[in-house]
Structure 1
Amino acid sequence: MSLFRTILNDKGATLPPATPEQSNLFKDFHTICIDKERPYCPLRALCLVPKASATGDGETEIHMDIPPGGLGTCGDPTYMAWYRPHYRDILTESTILVCPYYPLMSSKEERKGYGQTIYKYFDDFLDWIYSGDLVRMVQKTYPLLPTPKTDRYIHLLSGESAGANLAIYCWLSQRGGRIGTMYLQSGMYGSYCKLPGQLYMDRPISREEAWSSARDLLVYILKKGPTEAQMGDTPPMGMGATYLCPLIHLPTVIDGQKVWRTIFKILFGESDIFELMGMQQYDRYKGKEHLMIRLEAHDIVPFLDQPTPQLACFGLIHLPELNAFSYERTTSHIDLPGYAPNTFITHGDEDVHCPIQDAQSFTLFLQEKYPESQIELFEAPGEKHAFAYHKDDEWTRHVTKKVSQIDGHAR
């Protein structure tokens, strides 16, 4: 029985048959879901425990994998499409795979500052791992499971799309632990967007449909809470709409000045990794006013506690060539860590959701800031955003070798 059936049938979900690849993907692992109580929203982790290690055989390490799809749609790590066969290839059999669930929003205040809410959640999640409490909770079910040999250490931290954004944040947050290697795929380094008229998971999405879905999704998120965790083999609810969130601008008054901010920015707070690292984003729309499309009156959305729904909104057409970034340092929002993990990035050169230019900028920044670390970008030819996972055997073998060389001690 596959991981997906083991987990999802407990929730009463109706699933399509698992493919042979999915059924065999984690056949050598036990699966367990663990909660840790905290005010408002508990921490929740899906853990894959090697069957051999559960009997006391050998040593263990931690691999934390953050699933995609969560910032706008509350991604669930049990959603079967999230799992990548090549992730198993880059791990040793003694690795405990820890997949965090995304936190849900509750109060209006939490929805207004969801970026801060989700970052605090991952701060606490890292503390849970680094303190050893998470493994001790797993050991209550598997008492022979060895404790990881290195304290306050994550052997491999991986993430995809929104999960890559949060993986980078986990490194930046410096919670008193250390990360050996970071593996990022189709990362959402800035924002998530999509050109109308193109396909999403082989389904065409029109501009009108996307805007209608985005409007409904925003009202749902802001007034009623998050979308439900998604299961099965269909696109999570709202994924067809989230691309419009970063493209709609609303006026916000900051220090007495009107500033145009994206809905994405308002919803998620400091979710732009470049801004978080103190990098100045190039003014991608300067001199490109002809790209702006003023929305009709019926498209204007009441937003948060604004006294009037009459907000002037703009839809900005996304063009990859406008995704350039400046490396000029501005006011730092955080103190950068004194080290960077060896970092391996893969990104499709036809990704229109999270353009490859963002991955290139992030790679160059790390290479210049942390020359002692190995920072590599694999540009997957012809690949789009997520779901079309590359299966480049040579790259996978390369990453496997590099991950196996990390011994868990500070360089």
Structure 2
Amino acid sequence: MRVAIVAESFLPNVNGVTNSVLRVLEHLHANGHEAMVVAPGARDFEEEIADYLGFPIFRVPTIMVPLINSLPVGVPIPAVTHALRNFNPDIIHLASPFVLGGAGAFAARQLRVPAIAIYQTDVAGFATKYKLTPLAAASWEWTRTLHNMCQRTLAPSSVTIAELESHGINEIYHWGRGVDTVRFHPAKRSEELRKEWDPTRSKRIVGFVGRLAAEKGVDRLKSLAHRNDLQLVIVGDGPERASLEAAMPNAVFMGALGGEELAVAYASLDLFVHTGEFETFCQAIQEAQASGVPTIGPRAGGPIDLITPGVNGELLNVDTFSAELPDAVDSILHPVRYDRMRAAARDSVRTKTWESLCAQLMKHYDAVIEQSRRVPLTFFGPIPELPLWAAKALGARIDANHQ
């Protein structure tokens, strides 16, 4: 099978979209399939790679978005269609489509190639958080257009599926996210690292892992910052880091970690807290659970499917998250229930491997390819330029390095 992936985000930018695409590419490589990636170019301070596992990467110019500099966006240039035509895919996989994914969706129609859209980013929620009102107002209309041009949409949680259905999106199927239960494992707990975080060895370690950006709501951890019995550890980087360090001077900020360092950090926590309400899935929660760490998250989006209150963690109301957080932490860390909740956290992800999730994805590929053979695809016209409303809302500028 020949699979073209149009990714709204990709290396060297690392986030949930990128990680999911990497796992899919690894599965395709391991099973003898061919693939290519269409992705945004690197920013001027990052090193750009030309291939992954031998699969070529076609880069497009990058839009630098004010306030959201951790999320560069690819320009949907007409050359996307030419690159896809030359590759001659059996299917086009749109990873979290919105801007660059628009080019992928229209190219799929022009080339009469079936497409699957993976819904992964709550653009409307992000836009509201960043006060980009024009973008927030139009984002659902644009999302509906893109997804309904595809043969099916794969969504990661029950809450997300219901929201997509309420906005008129058709042919939605559930597809979650896998987790590496070998890399993320309780056995990687490091007493040496815990001592580095808490030299007194008298505190419980409460941590967060993720991008330090406004939509993640990390400032909600401030309700724990005064506690002498807790040590906050924050793993990640982003535009909010300086303000968070000022607000929580006693917290340990580790910066961005990856690979084995990240796995050790997760396993060395006593409790994981995810503070953002715009997660369509929340892979960080699964990685913490695989590490045997109970989790706290908001009662919104993906965490609702991942956390069973009182079993492997707790869900808190978004509006009162900060106020509820201290009591929730104390409840989970109570000696009577803590060990049980640690075991339950690990048990909750035992069957959620990337191998099984990618096998499910291949079945979706096969289904839409077969469907397209029975029902010919319709020609839908030329590739659009970046929508004018989006360009105005974002105040976007093209990175000179990729003109």
Taking structure 2 as the reference length, what is the TM-score of the superposition?
0.38
